[in-house]
Amino acid sequence: VIFADEIIRFNAMVEEWPKLQARHFESGYWWFAYLDDEPMAFAGLVPFDPIPLVGYLKRCCYVAPDHRGHGLQFRFFIELERKAKELGWTMLLGDCGEKNSFSASNFIKAGYQRVDPEQPWARPNDQYFAKMI
C-alpha cells in the first residue's frame, strides 16, 4: 500500500491495461526497476483468488520498450518464483498477449507450460501459462 502511487504510475505505462484495484495493493508484492530516475520495468505477484496457494503474475514483468533485450523480464520471473516459494505457494499462473512472442518465450524459458484454461481470466486470445513450484 505504501507504493500504491508508484504501482499506479508503472501500470499506466501500458494504455490498454485496466486500472488496478485496491486488493492488488493489499495482498500483492511488487518489484520495480529504474535506470537513474527513469522507470524501466515492474512486476507484481498476487494471490490467484479464490484458489489457495496459487499465485498470479500480475502485469507479467513489464519492461519498457527501450530496455528490452537484456534479460530483465526473465530475472523478474526468477524473483517472483522465489517469493512464491517463500510464501508456500505451489503454482504460478500468468498470461501475455497473443502476439507477444518475447514474453511467451520467457515463460517457456522459465519452465512454464502453455495452458488452455476452462475460464480465461485475461483478454480474448491471450496466451496462458502455468508452473508448479
DSSP class of 39: E
pTM of the entire predicted model: 0.85
| Sign of the CA dihedral running 76, 67, 62, 32 | positive
pLDDT at 34: 86
What are the 10-residue block averages of pLDDT along the chain, 133 residues in total? 62 65 74 86 90 91 90 95 97 95 96 96 93 98
Write down the pLDDT at residue 23: 67
Predicted local confidence at residue 32, as pLDDT: 84
- pLDDT value for 96: 94
